[in-house]
Structure 1
């Protein structure tokens, strides 16, 4: 996979407490979304149970009307799927601060003479202000693979983009690869962390990020968090991450 964000995850001590990163005040939510709109950041909106997405920008955040207006997509079919979707997931990372929230069904409106989407302001917005775990990219020339043994129909191997104690970022073999929807879990996953041994555990999909590779091809990177990782597996990851960091520093010198 040619080169071109890992989300928050869990540690062996239990799930990441998102409460302290969650905005629930309408005023706070509107203020944060207005900042994203004013700075013109691109936002990815997943619809149709995560099977389709559009890249868009916020056009208007109206606290009084409790509505959010965002730009119309470039593909007519995807726009119609967005209008039919009852649950939509918004993801962006302005200035490295990951923002994610869910809204209900969108409706088509006219905004300044052109079509746009409008949804009700979300009740909650997750705003992760820092990475919970140190993560490191895996070697491109000698990639490691995540073996998903309980993928439907047949096991699937996915190239690992980066790794931390919280989880993994993985490349999908194609943007249209079925499964790997937000919240979906895979219980029988393994990664050979050479030369230290095999990492085994369960993963939950927390993030999907469409990217354009250097060769111009479209791809999707997914973020998955470890579920209930035992301390022995955490030690394995620490050894592997430490080795990669030592190698990276040696190359910089």
Structure 2
């Protein structure tokens, strides 16, 4: 397993990462089989280019196992398309059937496919396929959102709502404008009030940024983050908070 497939590796972080070797498909047959499943499902794929500073939302249109290439749909944003074409290393993220998938490719080229523009890239040599969550993750309240206060962001103090939380990290909800201020691999000191158990002071690492299309047509960005410097007291606080949320959820269901 190489660092190149780990989100945020380009940041030079020395923080420990989850061992992904057991989740990595390395044989050509396994890689193609998994990618074909993504094609058949019509799964949307987020591609991060320009060192994680830009992204496009696309689909895999076709695979050529002989030529070892795949074709991607042309993006809606021409500026982002241009950055993708110029980017030498690109990270792909999607979640077919809830299974998080990630891989990298080199620089794409512009081609004509079925009468329209498309991207062509070499097939990835390996694919990370996370078949289960490392930690139990639970949604946070919508009516009374849990806010994550950023204490050292260059843009100043920010307070962003959590979408969910687990012992290993949390997901934040960002507007597209706010997402432009964050990059994969960034580390920030944050403060999260986990009522009634206390305030979690922790370092947060941005692991992925995924566009989310809502039923009303609006779009937001989901930022998947991991806690980078947990210790026993902090873990205990999060565990108690998650357990309390789960008890409340079960009580509502009953």
Assess same fold via TM > 0.5. yes
Q: Pick from 153, 174, 179: which aligns with 2:181?
A: 179
Matches within 5 A, 1:71-90: 71-90=73-92
Higher relative contact order (CA 8 A, sep 6+): 1
Partner of 2:218: 217
Name the CA distance, whole Å, in 2 between partners of 1:172 and 1:202.
18
SS at match of 1:195: coil
Tell whether 2:37 aligns with 1:35.
yes
Partner of 2:248: 247
How far is the alpha carbon of 1:214 from its aligned partner? 4.1
Partner of 2:207: 206
Structure 1: 5+ residue runs without aligned partners? 1-7, 9-13
How far is the alpha carbon of 1:224 from its aligned partner? 0.3
Partner of 1:22: 24
Structure 2: 5+ residue runs without aligned partners? 1-6, 8-15
Name the CA distance, whole Å, in 2 between partners of 1:101 and 1:15.
16
Are the structure 2 counterparts of residues 112 and 103 from structure 1 closer, same or farther at C-alpha, using a change threshold of 3 Å?
Answer: same
Partner of 2:56: 54
How far is the alpha carbon of 1:135 from its aligned partner? 0.7
Tell whether 2:142 aligns with 1:127.
no
SS at match of 2:62: strand
Instruction: Report the TM-score when normalising by structure 2.
Output: 0.88
How far is the alpha carbon of 1:182 from its aligned partner? 1.5
Would you say the 8 A contact 2:197–2:237 is kept in 1? Answer: yes
Partner of 1:5: none
How far is the alpha carbon of 1:246 from its aligned partner? 0.8
Tell whether 2:137 aligns with 1:143.
no
Q: Pick from 116, 119, 124: which aligns with 1:117?
A: 119
Q: CA RMSD in A?
A: 1.8
How far is the alpha carbon of 1:173 from its aligned partner? 4.1
Count of residues in Structure 1 that have an aligned counterpart in Structure 2: 240
Instruction: Report the TM-score when normalising by structure 1.
Output: 0.88
CA offsets 1:203-252 (integer angstroms, 9 cap, x no match): 11111111123443221010001113101101000110111111111111
Name the CA distance, whole Å, in 1 between partners of 2:178 and 2:196.
33
Q: Pick from 145, 168, 171: which aligns with 2:170?
A: 168
